[in-house]
Structure formats: C-alpha cells, structure tokens
Structure 1
Amino acid sequence: MYPALSDPTARSIATLLEWYAASGVDIALEEEAIDRLVAPPVAAPVLAPAEIPGQSAPAANSPSIAAPQIAAPDGGEASRAAREIARTAPTLEALRAALEAFDGCSLKLTAKSLVFANGNPAGRVMFVGEAPGREEDLQGLPFVGRSGQLLDRMLASIGLTRDDVYIANVVPWRPPGNRTPTPEETALCRPFIERQIELADPDFLICLGGASAKELLGTTEGILRLRGQWHDFETGRRRIRAMATLHPAYLLRQPLQKRLVWRDLLTLRAALDETGA
C-alpha cells in the first residue's frame, strides 16, 4: 500500500515521491500512451462560407484563409540529417555538440541527459553497449549503475580501468522505462556511434551484448554463438579488431555465464599483450 496523501504537505509529498522511487517509478506518464513516432493530427481547413443569394461574393483580391500546414516528421529526412551531421563532425567534442543539438530522435524528448561517453578517448579498447539506463540518464555517463560496477570489476580482472578504455552506447538517450530501443531509433543513432568509433580510433572494439553486436557487426547470429570471436569493423580509415561478449546486465541475471566472459576477457588481454599494450 502506498503512503496516504490526505494531508498534501511538502513532507507528505516528498515521502510519496521517495516511495515511488524505491518502487522503481522513475518517469511520469499520462493516462493515455503517447506514440511520439506518429505525426500530429493536421487541423481541419477553414472553409470560406458558401455563397448565399442576395449577398455579394468576396472580392477577388480579398485575403483567403488557408489551412495551417503542419509538416509531419520525415523519418527519411531525419536519417539523412543524422548521417550528414555525423559525417562532418571533425572531433569527438564536435560530435557531442552535434548530438546535443540534434532533435531528430524522439528519445531526446523523454531523456534527462545525453549519455555520450566515459573513460579515455585515447584508450586502445572501446566498449559499446546498447542504451543507457536510469542511473546513466541521471548522471549523463554510460555504465554507472549496477552493470557499470560489474564492468569495472571485469576490467580490473585483466588489469584495466576506465582510464584505459573508452565506453559508449549505440543509442545515447535512455528509452522511457528502460525499454528496448525500436529498430527505427537504433538506425537513426547508428551513424553517430559509427562516427564516434571512427574518431576514437581504438585498436579493439568490444560489443557488450547481442544488440550492440547486431548493429555494429552486421550479424543476426545469437550472442552466445557470436561471443569470443574476432571480427573486422571497417571505419573507412582502417579495420578495427572487434569482438562481442555478454552484457554485464545479462551477467547480473545469469551469473554462471561469467565464465564465458572471463574467456573473452583473457582473449582481449592476450591481444593487447601481443600488440604491445
């Protein structure tokens, strides 16, 4: 039972909000769901009154009343804009600024923060997940919640810290309620993460989870079969060695699978050692 609010004082309201937060309620919703991918309804046109016998018709040069024109969002136009903006960003700082100004993705409307990156952009290893969660949205940094704490321990197990790696997500805004990003949202954000990888130019790219691997490695193979194998990621400048592994959030639900990720981490460590890390 939630706290009673018969006396709506500031303290009772704060108590209710604390109860909501403890229960996992972290976003306000309306009574009816809003599909932000659907174009808003176009207002009905205002018609001129019908000509009535005995009344003079409006003069030919009198101003007419036109129906308001509301441009429907064009997914194709937004995709073209995203590709052009990403392509022309000369630095990571410019790419971040471009994402801050980009209004083509509806996820920006419900997210608190742009979650661009964390760690060292000059690091030899770049990790890419799918999308930020609640804690990441609040702090504006990727992998800072429970999954991020596990990722830190994963890095430490092979002698790395966040100062040694660069971390980002395919989608830089948190989907409402931590839902899975739609294929349209992911496709719209893909040019930005591809450019981010190109500008960071790591030696090794690690896809955290099946969603990230699907987008960046262009495969439909399941993550359990895909993980642990080296692939090539083309940036347009050079080929980067890429590997998929299990997402830390999955490991929190399936801790026995940590043994698989340990093998993947040892493979990464060996590659770093072989190339002079």
Structure 2
Amino acid sequence: MPPEQIVALLQWYADMGVDVAIADEPLDRFAESAQAPLASPPMRSVPEADAARRAPAAAAQPRMASPAPTMLTTSPDAVELAAREQARSARTLDELRDLLERFDGCALKATANRLVFADGAPDAKVMFVGEAPGRDEDIQGRPFVGRSGQLLDRMLTAIGLDRTKAYIANVVPWRPPGNRDPTPQETTICRPFIERQIELVAPKVLVCLGARSAQALLGVTDGILKLRGRWLDYDLAGQRIRAIATLHPAYLLRQPVQKRLAWRDFRAIRTAIEQDMS
C-alpha cells in the first residue's frame, strides 16, 4: 500500500475513535469502560513489544498528532448521561440544534454527511417522529424528503395538513450507514435530544411513524400492526399528551395494501386535531 494511503487509513481510524493498537494479550475493554469517568480518559500506549515490531514501518511515515479523546471513548452510560444533561440545557430549538451539531457522543455523526434535525412549523399542533434519516435526507439535511417523504406529504394533504402546519423529526438525527437500523445504543444516546425536541415544540398530538419510533418514545414492545391506531399517553414535562403510532411511509411503499390502515390512523389524527382546536 502506498505511504499516502497508509496515512489516510490511519487518519480514518483516528477519526472513527480508534486510540489503541491490537496487542498479543486480550484486554477486557468492557470492564475498563465501566470504571471510566465522564472526563476523557488518557490515551493508552501501545505495548512495548508491539511498538518495537511496528517501529520500522512507523519511522517511514509522516508523524500524525494523536486524536483528541471524545465521548466515544467513554462508557455508554457516561455518554448517555452527558447527552441527557446537554439536551436538558437547551432552552430553544435553535440551541438544541447547535448542541447536536457539536455533540460527538454518537458514532453515526462520523459517517453521516450532515445532521438531519427537523422540518416544518415549530409551533405546530401535531408532531411526526420517524426513526432515522435515509440517503436523501442525509444529502438535503431535512427529514422525509425521499420517496417516503413524498408519500407522507400526500398523506398530510389528505387530512388538510402540510409542512407549514406540522413538525417532523426523527429519533436519531444522523443516517446509519447503508440505511441500516440504528442500534439500541445509538437510539438510547439520541433519545434525550428528541425528547427535549418534543418538549420544546409541545405538540397537542404526537405521531410515531413506525414501530421503532413508538418503542423508543412510548415504551411499548408490540409490533406496529398491533400497536397502530391505539391512542396512548406521552409524558410531556409532567403533562400527558395524546400519542398514536401508525405505519411508516417506507413500509407502505413496500406494502401498498396497508394504506387503508394508515388512512384510518390519519383520519383519527385529523379528528384529534379538530377536537383540540374546537
């Protein structure tokens, strides 16, 4: 491999949070991270035998500065606590967005093109929350702008809404690589931010798009076909607001016959909004 490619690879490892080399003897990183404080831990040195074996190759390469430790090197519990504290400190949606732009506790940020924060009216009566952005959203920096978003727009129009009358966000604001599902840890780390986002918008109706959004926000475990259409309570800063789960637009694109179920849900959403306004 040419030297410049080696340097680029090492820099990529550093950007991803790799701060140690693999040694001959195994180490229990989980035990170490459980004892790690919230502050950034010291960088771990390479074992002497391992360093000696790599010295000739390293001498031929340009010297790179060690990456500054981030929250990615601390325990998951510490990162979750830091996320909760930061989210709680945001007094406005703009402050919350700025905090997320600077937040380094979720590894998805390193692989995504940009933060996908929200779209729509911050003072909307109804808020829609999906799971995570896809490719089109990652490119444009707005939620639900691809095929799923176009279907969602048509569904909103069918009940007299559009993006000027609704607020749209995701539980996880960065696209997972390859559009995979976010891991439970990624969802847990990002959950305080979407919870604070819901508090700041303070909608009258919360709509979870898909099972994973409902499971993250409403604490349910049922599948979406069993869960959809049921009104539940969401605890909003000590107050209960009406929440409902419905089928994700991406699922409806794969299963068009289920649009009849989504239409029932959206009619119920329209009725709830009308009742609140009357």
Match of 2:178 in 1: 177
The answer to whether the Cα contact below 8 Å between 2:129 and 2:213 also exists between their aligned partners in 1 is yes
CA contact (8 A) 1:130 1:212 kept: yes
Matches within 5 A, 1:186-197: 186-197=187-198
The runs of at least 4 aligned residues of structure 1 exceeding 4 Å deviation read 36-39
Distance 1:253 1:158 in 2: 22
- Whole-angstrom CA distance in 2 between matches of 1:39 and 1:274: 56
Offset, 1:73: 3.0
Partner of 1:256: 257
Q: Secondary structure at the match of 1:275?
A: helix
Name the amino acid aligned to 1:241.
R
2-structure distance, mates of 1:267, 1:250: 20
Instruction: State the alpha-carbon separation in 1 of the partners of residues 230 and 277 from structure 2.
Output: 21
- TM-score, with structure 1 as normaliser: 0.77
Displacement of 1:176 after TM fit?
0.5
Amino acid at match of 1:238: Q
For residue 226 of structure 1, what is the aligned residue in structure 2? Answer: 227
CA distance in 2, matches of 1:202, 1:38: 41
Distance in 2 between residues matched to 1:175 and 1:222, nearest whole Å: 22
| Structure 1 residues 102-181: aligned runs within 5 Å | 102-181=103-182
| Distance verdict in 2 for CA 1:39–1:190, change over 3 Å | farther
Q: Give TM-score scaled by structure 2 length.
A: 0.76
* 1:225 CA drift (Å): 0.8
For 2:85 and 2:229, the matched residues in 1 are separated by 34
Greater Rg, structure 1 or structure 2?
1
Q: Aligned letter for 1:159?
A: G
CA distance in 2, matches of 1:45, 1:73: 21
Say if 1:157 and 1:37 are closer, same or farther in 2 by CA, change over 3 A. farther
Give the Cα–Cα distance (whole angstroms) in 1 for the partners of residues 155 and 17 of structure 2: 38
Q: Once superposed, what is the RMSD of the aligned Cα atoms?
A: 2.3
CA deviation after TM superposition for structure 1 residue 43, in Å: 3.4
Structure 2: which amino acid aligns with 1:257?
Q
Confirm whether residue 244 of structure 1 aligns to residue 245 of structure 2. yes
1:223 partner amino acid: I
- CA drift at 1:46: 4.9
- State the AA in 2 paired with 1:275: D
Which residue matches 1:43?
A: 45
Deviations 1:213-248 (A, max 9, x none): 000110101110111111110022421100000000
Structure 1: segments with no counterpart, 5+ residues: 1-29, 48-67
Name the SS of the counterpart of 1:113 in structure 2.
coil
Q: Which runs of 5+ in 2 are unaligned?
A: 1-8, 22-43, 50-65
- The structure with more helix, counted as a fraction of residues: 2
Contact kept, 8 Å, 1:39 with 1:73, in 2: the verdict is no
Separation (CA, whole Å) in 2 of partners of 1:254 and 1:276? 34
Residue pair 1:113, 1:140 contacting (<8 A) in 2 also: yes
- Number of aligned positions between the proteins: 226
Deviations 1:180-209 (A, max 9, x none): 000000000000000000010000000000
| Equivalent position SS for 1:121 | coil
Task: Tell me, yes or no, if the aligned pair for 1:115 and 1:172 is still in contact at 8 Å.
Answer: yes
Tell me the CA shift for residue 122 of structure 1: 0.5
In 2, Cα distance between equivalents of 1:76 and 1:166: 30
